[in-house]
Chains A and B, each alone.
Chain A
Amino acid sequence: MSVLVVIEPSAGIINKGGFELATFGKETAALSATKCITLVLGNASNAGELGIYGIDEVLTIDIPTYDSVVYAKTIAEASKKLDASIVILKHNANGKAAAGRIAIKLNAGLVSAVNAVPVLNGAVLQVKRGVYSGKASATYAISSSIKVITVLGNSIKPNATGNALPVSELDLPKVTSTLELIDRKTMSGRAPLPEADLVVSGGRGFKGPENWDILLELADTLGATTACSRPVADADWRPHHEHVGQTGVAIRPNLYIAIGISGAIQHLAGVNSSKTIVVINKDPEAPFFKAADYGIVGDLFEVVPKLTAAIKKLKHE
């Protein structure tokens, strides 16, 4: 038996999200003292480093990850070949598109968006996930002999326990895709929002797109990713992929700094799982303060540059 962890590199390297998943897989495998095998989809210059996270075997196979048909066929075949009883994927666009298919192929129970290492109870796997946009959580029992789960970003800290491993190619019959990938755009620079540790987010309190420089400077100083409230994206002050909340991206960074955002329930739904929330708002009655850990009541145009300066000072100490 084994636990199979599927890792998607981005632009030829495995990033923090991949190492998180490896640690998650390792801890899940430890529950039943089985092997943890990672399968890397495509080339990654640092694939061998997965061994550092206590993985037993690192395999690769190159497939078009955008094609859920090929993705699912490949993973289902790999699971059979490697005798996997638990298959772990990342809860991102490709992982979500494939997980359900894999579950059907393997007659496996599926739970997605898992946010904590499972508990094993005999042959039953207990998993926890957020529901109602982070307003509650639910625990499920998966009773099928094979289990498929997708794991949210930032659910576990990568834990280095071993040494790098050699990487070998997994030999499976090639599956051809019927799709044509016309274009792929990736945003370079900052970490994608669902993976970011630190997020600085702005709302309508900024009054207009021309005022975003102070937020960007704060984000740069922290090495944070930027986000915004929905009306800000709707008005095209900021790009749509920055929109967080119930109808935007759901995030759970270590630090979320909300500036000039009132804290409407639909906004909170996407950010309330953040570990630490800081709110800067000139209105002491803003609902966001109720969900915050730290707050400053004040004018953002004065507070934000001061905060940037104070962080610069800390970094130079």
Chain B
Amino acid sequence: MKTLVCISKTPDTTSKISFVDSGKNFNTDGISFIMNPYDEWYALVRAVELKEKVGGTVTAINVGDASNDLVIRKALAIGADDAIRVNANAPSSYFVAKQIAEIAKKENYDLIFLGKETIDYNGAEVGAQLAELLDLPFFSFVNHLEVEGKTNILKREIEGGEETIKVTGPCVISAAKDLAQQRIPNMQGIMMSKRKPLTVVEPIAVEELVSLITHDLPAPKKGVTLVNADNVDELVRLLHEEAKVI
């Protein structure tokens, strides 16, 4: 089985967020970056598990500049066989989908995995666009996947429930929690990752339809109103009369 896993780089989950250039750009000062948790813990690990079970290869792909190589090496350490980096700072999800589609078109991947969303832009946009460009079925928020030959049985989270679906042939899957269990790369994996191939390719041109105007930070909270534990009635009064939420 031949799989492709799309990985992205995001600020560490504890990062304090700020912007420079009058709100245009993210301030990377003092920020440490990680592999997007959904890509690493669920998408990549499930692809590696399937390879271990039925054989085949796992390729990791990223659209980004050379500073992403650390994250890509981690994907190789966790178990991807090789990696491709499209050498460009992606201005949009459309750009990312176009670049990945361009590469995937030439290969016959059985499965293409993504994370359910990146935790920086929380868009969940790349997967559906990529699937459309490749004319493949797409399943969002998959938390369970079994493969038997060409048939995939998967479960996906829907609003207030879950669906089980059977699909035959290649498809694109966005991974949600529980699709796999997080793996920590071991020493051998880390050593091997240094020798695995990482191919860098140049991007194709893309016409952008969406542009960023600015970023804003939320207004600071006015501070908490503390109510004495013996005076719970007062909290209820405030919620009813002041906040008007109950």
Contacts and interface: CB of A to CB of B under 8 A. Distances in A.
Interface in A183-202: 183-187, 191-192, 194-195, 198
A130 B94 CA distance: 18
A110 B210 contact: yes
B158 A68 contact: no
A9 to B, nearest CB: 11
A87 to B, nearest CB: 13
Given A93-B157, A266-B13, A294-B238, A240 B177 contact: yes
Nearest to A181: B165
Nearest to A288: B224
Interface centre among B13, B158, B178, B228 (most CB of A within 10 A): B158
A89 to B, nearest CB: 11
Nearest to A130: B122
Given A94-B158, A276-B245, A136 B218 contact: yes
Contacts of B167: 178-180
Contacts of A246: 13, 37, 119
A194 B119 contact: no
Given A126-B213, A179-B166, A136 B17 contact: yes
Nearest to B137: A69
B54 to A, nearest CB: 21
Which DSSP category, helix, strand, loop or mixed, fits chain B's interface? mixed
B153 to A, nearest CB: 7
Contacts of B129: 100-101, 103-104, 110
Contacts, number: 261
A187 B122 contact: no
Interface string B10-47: 01011101010000000000000000011000000000
Nearest to B97: A100
B119 to A, nearest CB: 6
Contacts of B19: 136
Interface string B184-225: 000000000000000000000000011111111110011011
A26 interface: no
Contact of B126 (A100, A194, A314): A100
A302 B229 contact: yes
Contacts of B123: 112-113
B108 interface: no
A120 interface: no
A142 B119 contact: no
A19 to B, nearest CB: 15
Given A68-B128, A133-B122, 13 more contacts: A94-B159, A96-B125, A97-B128, A126-B213, A137-B215, A138-B214, A138-B215, A138-B216, A140-B211, A141-B213, A143-B211, A182-B166, A255-B243
Interface of A: 10, 66-69, 72, 92-94, 96-101, 103-105, 107-113, 126, 130-144, 178-187, 191-192, 194-195, 198, 222, 240-241, 243, 246-248, 250, 254-255, 265-266, 269, 272, 275-276, 278-279, 289-299, 302-303, 306-307, 309-311, 313-314
23 contacts: A66-B165, A68-B128, A72-B132, A93-B159, A97-B139, A100-B93, A103-B129, A110-B125, A110-B210, A131-B215, A132-B11, A132-B15, A133-B119, A142-B210, A143-B210, A181-B164, A183-B164, A240-B177, A276-B243, A294-B227, A295-B224, A302-B229, A310-B236
